[in-house]
Chain A
Amino acid sequence: MNKRMLQKTGTFLLLKSIRMATLLIAICFISFLLIKNSPIDPIRAYIGADMLKVGPEQREKIAAYWGLDEPLMVQFFNWGSSLLAGDLGTSMIFRRPVSEIIQERFMNSLILMITAWVISGVLGFVLGVVAAMKKGTWIDRIIKWYCFTLASTPTFWMGLLTLIVFAVWLGWFPVGLGVPAGVLAQDVTLAERIHHLILPALTLSILGVANVALHTRQKLIDVLASDYVLFARAKGEKGFPLFWKHGLRNVALPAITLQFAAFSELFGGAVLAEQVFSYPGLGQATVEAGLRGDVPLLLGLVIFSTLFVFVGNLLADIVTYLVDPRTREGKSL
């Protein structure tokens, strides 16, 4: 990498980061406003069932302690400045710092999402390539039909189906929980973790295939219609060697980019899969926070998931930028 290119890459990253920062601030502000205007009373949500035992004076004290009696903008800046310092507040349902919960849950979710991400990416790519190489045959039609059907399948229903088949009928897997019940968190072995990971990962992998497969198929069909492939065919190349020499490079990049850009859907899928399999990840925490009115946790999760999606998009951009020389030639992005 020469100096000029390094410089260009630096500018590119800087511009992306500035854009992200404005979006993130806006997301923080909007979510804060939305939640402030929600009908959930934070004090009521905090105290829960003991509401009757708490008098109005005590309520006022709690409000003052949390700064709930201050003007809205002051509250936002208080919250924002502690956010910048890395303090996301304390979760009401877990009674622990939000950042701690997100960290712990993220590790669980990350394993799940990465597994599903890799499997669906590879499988989708292979399916797309096979469909395109055999365009118009029954294999192509089946793959296409399968992908279109997957796109209409509710994620949580697919989760329920795998649960019925593998956990209830075959009894291979436990019906729920990310770790075995009655075992301390530090005593859970790797094998047990993997055992509980398989079904949610399988669900997400089956569904994640469609997008990459259809996209790769279309892309490869375009490539196969090009002049250089026509020339290669005229020289007698065909089948797998033809794909390996002329197709792979041209279709791998769009597929990788697409997979990175799909982090948003991956997160959404994980929310549903974790809910079905009671897998203790970020998605389940989001649902819990929403259902039980845990405002600090929900805000933290919204911001964290936004960051997650942004990292995905950024990686997609960087990969395209670094791997494909054509995108560097024109103006900087």
Chain B
Amino acid sequence: MRQAIQTDRLALNRRHWMIFFTIFAAVFLALVVIGGTFLNPERIATNFQEKNLAPSLHHLFGTDWLGRDMFSRTVMGLSLSIKVGLIGAIGSTFIAVSLGMIAATMGKAADRIVSWLIDLFLSVPHLVALILIAFTLGGGFKGVVFGLMLTHWPSLARVIRAEVMQVRSSEYVKISKRMGKSSVWIAAHHIFPHLLPQMIIGFLLLFPHVILHEAAVTFIGLGLSPHEPAIGVILSESMKYLSSGMWWLAFFPGLSLLLIVRIFDWVGENIRILADPTKAHE
């Protein structure tokens, strides 16, 4: 959006540019996922003839102490992170929407219980809660995914609750009720369409947090197994080799993760602005 300020001369307006860049970024993210999934596993095979190489044109991110190509490992790790993040964020959004709806529609007692639950989850430091859940489930893929799902919903649940309450008290819903429409019909035709954009945007804005937390839990050793090519694993392994000057083992994988998270955040923010016409001109 910022880049677009000087582009008035061109035929496209800022909104067009924003859509263009957002689609471009989304395609880039999709490419990383697909690339990581279908990359030939041979590329990260052990190769002692090419170990400990600094970054070069042949090995963009260098190689590690087993001669594995760090670029391939990083792309695979990012792809894995995005997939795990996707499952975690979808789960969290689902919990948030369910609880938000329950709080807003099922009376005062339900509302109290949900608010109390939200407070409960916010009262433990996020990372400690994740460690506790991952520990309980014995770590690994299951532990991380459940931990991520169960700890990211509170803020979105609050948004959904407020949104549902607002729509429910609006005049057209009241009129609809007077005209004899059932509550299921109202939920499907009046409330849900309003909720959908909130859900999608909430999901997109949750995503960066989920990915960062996944990497953090994996980094401290309670997440994905060390055999997976996850970014957290790559970075925690690299710590042993930093003192011997192999900075590229940590620098590039972390930077790539930062970039992916930043792009996701940016895409989410753009879609939020595009979905809200009153903000599109800011």
Contacts and interface: CB of A to CB of B under 8 A. Distances in A.
Interface of A: 19, 22-23, 26-27, 30-31, 34-35, 37-40, 141, 148-149, 151-157, 160-161, 163-164, 167-169, 175, 263-265, 267-268, 271-272, 275-276, 286-287, 290-291, 293, 298, 301-302, 305-306, 308-310
The 5 closest A-B pairs by CB, nearest first: A157-B254, A268-B127, A152-B261, A267-B125, A152-B262
Contact of B135 (A19, A27, A290): A290
Nearest to B269: A148
Given A152-B262, A154-B215, A157-B254, 18 more contacts: A19-B119, A23-B120, A27-B124, A30-B120, A148-B262, A149-B262, A154-B257, A157-B255, A160-B235, A161-B250, A161-B251, A271-B220, A272-B219, A272-B220, A290-B222, A291-B220, A293-B135, A306-B125
15 contacts: A31-B132, A34-B133, A38-B138, A149-B262, A154-B235, A154-B254, A154-B257, A154-B261, A160-B235, A164-B247, A168-B245, A265-B126, A290-B220, A306-B123, A309-B124
Nearest to B247: A164
Interface residues of B, number: 43
A298 B135 CA distance: 10
Chain A binding surface, main DSSP class: helix
A23 B123 contact: yes
A175 B244 CA distance: 11
Interface of B is mostly: helix
B66 interface: no
Nearest to A35: B136
Contact of A149 (B120, B250, B251, B258): B258
A267 B133 CA distance: 17
Contacts of B125: 263-265, 267-268, 271, 305-306, 308-309
Contacts of A164: 242, 247, 250-251
Contacts of A276: 239
Nearest to A141: B2
Nearest to B135: A290
B80 to A, nearest CB: 15
A57 B136 CA distance: 27
A234 to B, nearest CB: 27
B50 interface: no
